[in-house]
Structure 1
Amino acid sequence: MGCTCKRLFFIIGLIVMELIDLGLDWDFFVEVNKTDQEKIQRNDELKYSILAFAIIGSVTFILQLVAIYYDSRKNYSHLTYSTTMSFISTWFEDVPQIMLAIWVASISSDLISNSEKFKYKRNSSCLKTLLVLDLIGGILLLGASVFLLIELRFDNYS
């Protein structure tokens, strides 16, 4: 097989990111579904929309794994299927979920998840740690994005 370490790192990173995305999709649905806020509980369209996009996220995750398999059959020469599935997943699953999260935030009277409550708890000694970790995570994501863009440019994927 013609799989280099960089490509293997890219593929493992892609699978890990898709797994995290899948987990967050379902966590979002569970948090919205179990909230006791009346405005959200009465809004069945919102809950069913979030459920639908969590299911779409599960399907795109499976299709992403299939795409990685097909790309591996071509010795990862261009990652055509994986790139296409990543595009589809982003625009047809992630972007609508971001809009749904904005909808939830606009009608919510309270913070929904425990992590949100923890992050915004006043006088928390962990707040500074969370902010630093968030900053480090953002820097790592930015670095990974720049690295991937450089790799794509040199591999003539653009």
Structure 2
Amino acid sequence: MNETCEKGLIIIYAVLKWLLDVVDLGMDWDFYIEVQHTDQESITRAVKLKRAILGFAIIGTLMFTATLLLFCIKICIEKRHGENKSYDDVKKAISVFSFLCTWIEDLPQIILAVIVAVKSTELISDIQLVKAWYALVEASLQATITLIELKLCCVNKPEIWKRVLLILELIGITFIFLLCAFLLIELYQDNFKEIYPLENAAMNFTSNATTWSTPIISTQLTTLDISTKQ
């Protein structure tokens, strides 16, 4: 019964992770479309940036397909033959792909999202905020799962390569978390400028009026003082 429950939880986790990956993949492509169709000059002129976003969206699609295929192979081998050498090899491949997804797909994509946010003068689309929050939550969950796996590795003492892989993946996830926090700050600043343009303009006008009025008042007082003395 315990084994059945454990396998059921693994399948539920795998399905949820697959659905989240599908949502993430959809947001990556939607982000590319929004960047491609924006009229902001700082983004439209950045041809290499848009090509990089497209390239990593394609890489993400290929990595997702490969990971899903490996997981299906893992389930099939487990049902037919149980845990044998082929099953262990597939598990190792999934661990390697998870590490590669973090460093080759997730981290570069969040870096590109930060570059777009810094270069743009206002929010391009709400998908930027959704993607940033999603990446932040996903990084938190992934860090928790990686820490649990790392703890199990230390208890069970598996191959040293897996512990090194998990530690490097955790470092990549930490970078992603920090970049997501910076990205959200940058996006909300742009969103504030976009929502309150009149208030910002009024504040700038008031600041300029105060700056220019000070020497005028000073000049008038000086002139009045000279006239009084005469």
Conservation of the 8 A alpha-carbon contact between 2:30 and 2:127: no
In structure 2, what is the equivalent of residue 60 of structure 1?
63
Cα offset for 1:150? 3.4
Which structure shows the higher helix fraction?
2
Cα offset for 1:91? 0.9
- 1:141-156 → structure 2 map (5 Å cutoff): 142=140, 146=144, 149-150=147-148, 153-154=151-152, 156=156
- 1:150 corresponds to which letter in structure 2? I
In structure 2, what is the equivalent of residue 88 of structure 1?
100
Q: Secondary structure, in 3 states, of the residue corresponding to 1:33?
A: helix
In structure 2, what is the equivalent of residue 32 of structure 1?
35
Moved more, 140-149 or 10-19: 140-149
1:103 to 88, 111, 115: 115
Aligned-residue CA RMSD (Å)? 3.2
**Structure 2: stretches of 5+ with no match in the other structure:** 164-230
- 2:28 corresponds to which letter in structure 1? D
Cα offset for 1:148? 6.5
**Structure 1: stretches of 5+ with no match in the other structure:** 120-133
- 2:126 corresponds to which letter in structure 1? N
Conservation of the 8 A alpha-carbon contact between 2:31 and 2:127: no
2:74 is aligned with 1:71: yes
Cα offset for 1:98? 1.0
What TM-score do the two structures reach when normalised by structure 1?
0.71
Conservation of the 8 A alpha-carbon contact between 1:67 and 1:82: yes
- Name the CA distance, whole Å, in 1 between partners of 2:141 and 2:49: 35
In structure 1, what is the equivalent of residue 11 of structure 2?
8
Identity %: 35
Q: Flag as ranges the 4+ runs of structure 1 deviating above 6 A.
A: none
Q: Computing the radius of gyration over CA atoms, which structure comes out larger, 1 or 2?
A: 2
- 1:53 corresponds to which letter in structure 2? F
| CA 1:96–1:145: 2 relative to 1, 3 Å | closer
How many equivalent residue pairs?
A: 140
Q: Secondary structure, in 3 states, of the residue corresponding to 1:111?
A: coil
Cα offset for 1:74? 3.5
Cα offset for 1:144? 7.5
* 1:77-110 deviations in Å (ceiling 9; x for gaps): 6633322222211211111111111111111111
Conservation of the 8 A alpha-carbon contact between 2:27 and 2:127: no
Conservation of the 8 A alpha-carbon contact between 1:71 and 1:80: no
Moved more, 106-115 or 146-155: 146-155
